[in-house]
């Protein structure tokens, strides 16, 4: 059995800042967990893509819990998904997303930050 571990997203190992957003990342158990906070008006293709690079769509899959706000996601194949506060969602690679409404989005990502940016 491995040793117990504890980390806090309030003291992240790494922070990725971008226009209208921030991602706090902790590295634990060989992987990563991220807490993303996106302000109203944030859109991946406009605000995060310039910070991380890449093509027209986010190529990182996400296994996430949305703690606050509402996120609309459009996939490369044309499918769309609304994720609301309290939802758990799996987003395969090949998507764009944006904040819907006037409330910030706060999401905890257990699957899309295995390797630090």
Query: Beta-carbon neighbour count of residue 24 at 10 Å?
Result: 20
What total of structural domains would you count in the chain? 1
> How does pLDDT run along the chain (117 residues), one tens digit per residue?
478 999 999 999 999 998 999 999 999 988 899 999 999 999 998 888 776 777 889 888 999 999 999 999 999 999 999 999 999 999 999 999 999 999 999 999 997 664 444
**How far is the C-alpha of 103 from the C-alpha of 114, rounded, in Å?**
27
**How far is the C-alpha of 17 from the C-alpha of 2, rounded, in Å?**
33
Q: Which CATH number is 69's domain given?
A: 2.60.120.10
Cα angle: 102, vertex 19, 61; to 5 degrees: 85
C-alpha dihedral (92, 98, 104, 105), degrees to nearest 10: -10
Token digits of residue 49: 């893509």
Is 40 within a domain? yes
């Amino acid at each position: 059995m491995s040793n117990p571990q504890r980390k806090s997203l309030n003291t992240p190992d790494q922070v990725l800042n971008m226009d209208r957003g921030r991602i706090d990342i902790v590295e634990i158990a060989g992987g990563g967990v991220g807490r993303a906070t996106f302000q109203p008006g944030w859109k991946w293709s406009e605000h995060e893509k310039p910070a991380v690079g890449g093509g027209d769509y986010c190529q990182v899959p996400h296994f996430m819990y949305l703690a606050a706000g509402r996120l609309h996601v459009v996939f490369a194949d044309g499918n769309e998904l609304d994720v609301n506060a309290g939802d758990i969602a799996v987003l395969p690679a090949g998507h764009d997303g944006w904040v819907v409404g006037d409330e910030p989005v706060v999401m905890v990502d257990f699957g899309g930050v295995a390797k630090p940016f």
